[in-house]
Amino acid sequence: MFQKMLNKFVGAKNIGILRTWVPNMVAWGSLGGVALVHFTDWRLFLDYVPYIKGKFNKDE
């Protein structure tokens, strides 16, 4: 069902091209996410991870 709707809007040729690019986009997206966390305040991101959140309590 989803394939038919996608074929109607995009076309079979473009779907084939997209399938070859998906692994590349996932890899670059993951690398970009890791780079974002690395070059910014990593603690800002880790505060949203439930398991790690309790390890970095601020002493006030």
**Which tens digits make up the pLDDT trace of 3-60?**
787 778 888 888 888 889 999 999 999 999 889 888 887 777 777 777 655 666 665 5
Rounded to an integer, what distance in angstroms lies between the CA atom of residue 25 and that of residue 21? 6
pLDDT for residue 53: 56
Rounded to an integer, what distance in angstroms lies between the CA atom of residue 38 and that of residue 47? 15
pLDDT for residue 6: 74
DSSP 3: H
pLDDT for residue 52: 59
pLDDT for residue 22: 93
pLDDT for residue 26: 96
Q: Where are the domains of the chain?
A: 2-56
